[in-house]
Amino acid sequence: MPQENIAKMEQRLNALKKDSQALTNANVYDQLLQIIHKPGWTTVAESLFLENTLDLISAQMQSLTRAQQGLLEAANAVGTQQAAATTTNR
């Protein structure tokens, strides 16, 4: 792979790393935990909206985790398969 492609990939990986760190370092959930304990903070309908949004966020996080694992497994497999093919062809 050309060095410039590797450099672009490295930039994208570093950007994703930074984005994921910002997501996990956010104190949004701590703030929400404080808000939901306030008396009368919401109606039943608004509560349902919040629950559905939390379900969506959770599903997206699980999907991202699976995507990251799949990417890592695929990247590791490429090098392993190429090395095995080279050894087999000798």
**pLDDT 10s digits, 15-42:** 999 998 888 877 888 999 999 999 999 9
Return the pLDDT at 77: 93
Cα separation, 81 vs 76, in Å, equals 9
pTM: 0.73
Cα separation, 22 vs 7, in Å, equals 23
Mean pLDDT within 3-21 = 94
- What residue spans define the domains of the chain? 1-41, 42-90
Mean pLDDT within 55-60 = 96
Confidence class for position 81, pLDDT limits 50, 70, 90: low
Closest by CA to 61, choosing from 30, 90, 13, 19, is 19
For residue 16, count other CB atoms closer than 10 A to its CB.
13
For residue 62, CA distances in Å to 30, 55, 59 come to 20, 11, 5
Cβ distance 74 to 82 under 8 Å?
A: no
